[in-house]
Every structure is written in structure tokens, then in C-alpha cells.
Amino acid sequence: MKILVCITNVPDTTAKISFIDGDTKFNKTGVQYICGPYDDYALSRAVELKEQHGGTVTVLNVGEAESEQVIRKCLAIGADDAIRVNTEPTDSYFVAEQIAHIASQENYDLILMGRESIDFNSGVVHGLVGEMLGIPSLSPVMKLEIDGGVAKMTREIEGGKEDVEASLPLVLGCQEPIAEWKIPNMRGIMSARTKPLKVVEPVGSGLTITEKYALPAPKGAVKMIPAEEAEKLIDLLKNEAKVL
């Protein structure tokens, strides 16, 4: 089985967010980068599937050279090789185009992604890639087993879960508890030294230009209104918060 896992290089969840160049660029100074947590689930499941069924796991990132630290970690966790599309990925469509282009050159049985990135959180790249390749895409997948050429999955839906089956090839957006995150061990880290990491140039160009970033307004303090003063609460919602 050939599996492609698409990973993002994203700021750690505890990173302090600020902008530079007149609020047009994210300030990367002092920011620690990690592999997107949902992408980590996808990778962990891919490595497990490889252990069960044999095959290969290729990691793909659309990003600049600084992503390579995270890519090495993915190789240390158990991916066999990696591809980096050398570009600043400016929007979801552009990223999807790159992934589809790479995927169309090989016959991957599975293309695993995270349910969403944790910087832009659009949750659309898997759908776009599925459309571009003309194969089904599903998300968010929380359970995945492969039986012959068929994927048996559990998907989270509004208010519940659904069990679905689909035949390969597929694009999936993954989330917990599809697998447990894997921590690379020293043997993995050593073997990652010599695993191939291919850098390729992008096709097309991104269409989005960022005019301005802004931080969300800071959250106000919580006001506690005792249950017996419901009128006061309604008054505040009407006249102060202006939501009623």
C-alpha cells in the first residue's frame, strides 16, 4: 500500500502571535514550529497501516525550507521518504493544487491529511484535492481500517458518528482517536538522517495576497449574574452586549 501523508508546519499552540511589515506578515521570531496535530494523527495511522499491510509512507509538505525540521521528525516517526514543494503556501487552493500535482504522478492508495490545519483552520484542502484528482474525500475520519481494497471508517457527524466504507484510492482528513501520537525514538531519529527528502518547485502560483492581519479582540472579563436576577442578565445582553 502506498500512502501519502500531507503535513503542515504550524506555530506551536502556545506561541505568541504578532505581525510585522505593517501587519502584512506573521512574525516568526521566537516561534516554535510543530507538525499540525491532526496531521500527526494522520501520520501515526499511516505508520500503523504500513506496519500491518506493508508498503510505503511518503510525507508531503507545501512550504519553505524551515519546514524541514518538522519533516525530519515525520521521517523519524516512520515515514520512508518526503517531498517538500518549495514555496510559501498562500492559500488553500494553491496548496491543494500542489498536493494534487504530486499525487497525480504516483498511484497512492491513500492520501491522509489532518481534518484541518491549526493556523488557518479552513478544513478544505482534502476536499479540494479529492475533486482535483477525481477521487472521493471524507473528513473528519476518527477510525480507519483497510480490508483488501476497501477502507472501513468511522466519521464524526453532527451529533453522532457514522460508519462508512469506500474503495481506494481515497483522500481522508483525520482526527483523534484514529491513532495515538507517536514519539520518535533514537533509532528513528538516526535513520531519518539518511531517508530521502526531495525538494520540488511549485506549479502555478498562489492567487491570494494578504492585505492585513489582525488579532482578535481580547476576551472581556466574565460577569457572574445570580440566577435569581435573570432580568439583569437580559438587560445586559440587550443594552451592553447588544446581542438580543
Partner 1 sequence: MEFYQSNKVDDFESPDFYQIDDLLTEEHLLIRQSVRDFIKKEVSPIIEDAAQKAAFPAYLVKKFGEMGLFGPTIPEKYGAGGLDYIAYGLMMQEVERGDSGLRSMASVQGSLVMYPIYEYGSEEQRLKYLPKLASGEYLGCFGLTEPDFGSNPAGMKTRIEDKGDYYLLNGSKMWISNAPMADIAVVWAKNEQGRIKGLIVERGMEGFSTPEIHQKWSLRASCTGELVFDNVKVPKENLLPSADGLRGPLGCLDSARYGIAWGALGAAMDCYDSAKKYALERIQFDKPIASFQLVQKKLAEMLTEITKAQLICWRLGMLKNAGKATTAQISLAKRNNVDIALKIAREARQLHGGMGITGEYPIMRHLMNLESVVTYEGTHDIHLLILGAEITGISAFK
Ligand X SMILES: Cc1cc2nc3c(=O)[nH]c(=O)nc-3n(C[C@H](O)[C@H](O)[C@H](O)COP(=O)(O)OP(=O)(O)OC[C@H]3O[C@@H](n4cnc5c(N)ncnc54)[C@H](O)[C@@H]3O)c2cc1C
Question: Which residues does 148 contact at the CB level (< 8 Å), separation at least 6?
Answer: none
Q: Is the peptide bond before 226 cis (omega within 30 degrees of 0)?
A: no
Question: Is the CB of 118 or the CB of 225 nearer to partner 1?
Answer: 118
Amino acid at position 61, single letter: N
Q: What is the DSSP string of 31-99?
A: PPEEE-HHHHHHHHHHHHHHHHH--EEEEEEEE-GGGHHHHHHHHHHT-SEEEEEES---SHHHHHHHH
Identify which of 120, 50, 61, 113 has the alpha carbon closest to the alpha carbon of residue 92.
120
Task: Look at residue 233 and give its three-state secondary structure.
Answer: helix
Stretch that binds ligand X, among 91-99, 144-152, 178-186, 194-202 (CB under 6 A): 91-99
Selected binder of ligand X within 7, 46, 82, 153 (CB under 6 A): 7
Q: Which of residues 168-197 bind ligand X (CB under 6 A)?
A: 173
DSSP 14: T
Between residues 34 and 111, which has the closer beta carbon with respect to partner 1?
Answer: 34
Residues that bind partner 1 (CB under 8 A): 14, 68-69, 72-73, 76, 183-187, 189-190, 193
CB of 127 to ligand X, least distance (A): 8
86 forms part of the interface with ligand X (CB under 6 A): no
Applying CB under 6 A, which of residues 119, 131, 156, 176 lies at the interface with ligand X? 119
Is 101 in a helix, a strand, or coil?
helix
Selected binder of ligand X within 2, 86, 120, 143 (CB under 6 A): 120
Whose Cβ is closer to partner 1: residue 180's or residue 229's? 180
- Please report, for residues 202, 211, 232, the alpha-carbon distance to residue 87 in angstroms, rounded to integers and kept in the order given: 6, 19, 54
Name the segment binding ligand X (CB under 6 A); options: 123-131, 164-172, 195-203, 215-223.
123-131
Residue type (1 letter), 190? M
- Smallest distance, partner 1 to C-beta of residue 119, A: 19
CB of 152 to ligand X, least distance (A): 21
Identify which of residues 72 and 155 has a Cβ nearer to partner 1 in the complex: 72
Alpha carbons 201 and 86: distance in angstroms, whole number: 5
Q: Which of residues 49-78 bind ligand X (CB under 6 A)?
A: 60-64, 67
Minimum CB distance to partner 1, residue 203 (Å): 29
